[in-house]
Structure formats: C-alpha cells, structure tokens
Amino acid sequence: MKKIYKYLIFALIIICAIALASVNKSFHKYLEFPDANEVLIDVKSFDTGSMFSIDNRKDKQALLDLIKNSIRLSHVKLNNSPIDGLHNTYSVTIWSKDYFCVFYVSNKKPLYCFLSGNKFDYYITGGDIIANYLDKLYS
C-alpha cells in the first residue's frame, strides 16, 4: 500500500513539473522577437514629438535583448499600464510581417507597457535601462 502512495506522489510531482514547464514555455514564446534583420523598429519621443527608425542591425539587436532581459527579470502584473503622464516617455513599436508590439518606456517613472495584439495587456517595472539606451540613441 505504501508503494502505491509513493508512485502516486511521484506521478503528481511529475505532472506538476510538466504543467509548470509548459506555462513557462508558452509565456516566453511571446517574448521571442523576429530576427533583427526582419524587424522594423520605430521610436517616438512624447516630449519632442520627434520619431526615428532604428536601421542599424546592431542597435536593433541590442534594444531587443534589453527588452527581453528586462521582461524576464521583472515583476509582471496583468493590469492596464499605470502610465499617466507623457513626460520623458518613449514609445517603441516593433513590427514585421506577422509580429507587432508596442512598448511605452520612461526613465523618470521606470515602467513600460507591452501590447501584442490581444494576447497581453500588462506592465513590467524596470524600463529605466531601456529608456537610458533610447536617450543615447536620440542624442
């Protein structure tokens, strides 16, 4: 009888591990961007109203890596973005043939919003590193 309980507990642990792995994999697949050669990135400053496209592959890849790493290391909240003012805020639009998302990045209020179709609507703290990178690209 004890052997049956051991097998049941072991089976339950395996089922939980598989479920957690599939949830983690499905979440991170939305964080995979297209290749930097295929993607188009537009950045707009809400302070000045100016907009530019990032054409350099190295700059595109650096920005995509910063966004991915910030998302993976941040606390995710499934709420609407709390961005209320547009001071020192950038919008970053990333799109390709079958991909589209928008980030709102601020270095004064370190958070950004990620919208990808109807899949997600959440904000993640820690956008100040990305905003500082965008400041350097603007100057």
**18 shares a domain with 45:** no
**35 shares a domain with 23:** no
**49 shares a domain with 21:** no
Query: What ranges make up the beta strands (E) of the chain?
Result: 40-45, 51-54, 76-77, 89-96, 99-106, 111-115, 121-125
CA–CA dist 124, 114 (Å, integer):
8
Q: 122: pLDDT confidence band, cut at 50, 70 and 90?
A: very low
SS3 118: coil
**37 shares a domain with 24:** no
Supply the range of the domain harboring residue 43. 31-138
**116 shares a domain with 104:** yes
Whole-prediction pTM? 0.54
More confident residue, 101 or 57: 57
pLDDT tens digits, 35-67? 778 888 888 777 777 888 888 888 888 887 777
SS3 129: helix
pLDDT exceeds cutoff 60 at 114:
no
**87 shares a domain with 67:** yes
**44 shares a domain with 5:** no
